[in-house]
Amino acid sequence: MFKKIILTTVSVLLGGYMIFVLTYLAIRPNTEECKGTNIEITGDDYGVLTNKDIEEMLSHKNLAPTGRLMTEIDCSMIENAINEYSLIDECQCYKTHKNLIGIRINCKKPIMQVFDKHEKMFYIDHEGNIIEGVSCAIYLPVASGFIDRSMAGKELLEIATFLQENRFWNEQIEQIYFTPKGEAVLIPRVGNHTIEIGKAENIDEKLHKLKEFYTKGLNKIGWNKYNKLNIEFDGQIIGTKR
């Protein structure tokens, strides 16, 4: 009986000690220095963003964590600073038990390069978000002409999404030009003609009709016979000969 009481007392004391140690470790401030960063970047299919870019960005904003006390590092400030870059879709920053700062970044995916009416360059992603500040070249369909930035989530997104989902036209269309009336002109890689589609709507139907004309018509009479092909109107293809 006495032995059982001793064992029970020891178990209770040991359990209390473990609770104390774990609680103490959880709440005590970490006064050690940050040893570095562990940066993970996902969603960047074109290799636009590098770990070095993030480190330089944080250094420029005086937020570089390496060498600072872990208690002085504000993860939310790091997240906010990185999220200011329009290429970033989401950023998570956290502290590790090894005195490292973990940074997980998910990037937006550009699907079209755009030069607006002021010749300012930007990209749009699959939701029509504007992406700026990308220094390296990304080979995507290019839109230019009389473009206002309000068109990013409308006309530009309509055409860019169609091209992304249709391999034939994505490979065939090299550039998109918008006229002062807001009508789109497609410039193909093959053939010395332009394709006038009018407003950026019902693109699937218009280009399906043109693809049939390519197969049944231009393959027989030659791809350089026409200077312009207008597919703006339903059921019609109006060709202007050279």
Q: What percent of the chain is modeled with pLDDT above 70?
A: 84
CATH fold of the domain at 36-107? Ubiquitin-like (UB roll) (3.10.20)
Element of type H or E holding 185: strand 184-188
Q: Please, are residues 214 and 238 in contact by the beta-carbon 8 Å criterion? A: no
Q: What percent of the chain is modeled with pLDDT above 90?
A: 64
**178 pLDDT above the threshold of 70:** yes
Terminal-residue alpha carbon distance, the chain = 110
Q: What angle do CA 17, 71, 35 make, to 5 degrees?
A: 100
Q: Which residues is 40 bridged to in the sheet?
A: 104
**What are the tokens at 167?**
């391999």
Q: What is the pTM of this model?
A: 0.79
Give, in order, the Cα–Cα distances in Å from 159 to each of 8, 84, 150, 171, 235.
Answer: 75, 27, 15, 14, 20
pLDDT single digits (tens) 62-87: 999 999 999 999 999 999 999 999 99
The pLDDT of residue 186 is 96
**235 pLDDT above the threshold of 90:** no
Q: Does domain 110-241 have CATH number 2.60.120.10?
A: no
Element of type H or E holding 88: strand 88-95
The pLDDT of residue 190 is 81
Where do the structural domains in the chain lie, given as residue ranges? 36-107, 110-241
**What are the tokens at 20?**
């104390």
**12 pLDDT above the threshold of 70:** no
Calpha distance 161→107 (Å, rounded): 18
Rounded (10°) angle between helices 75-83 and 51-60? 110
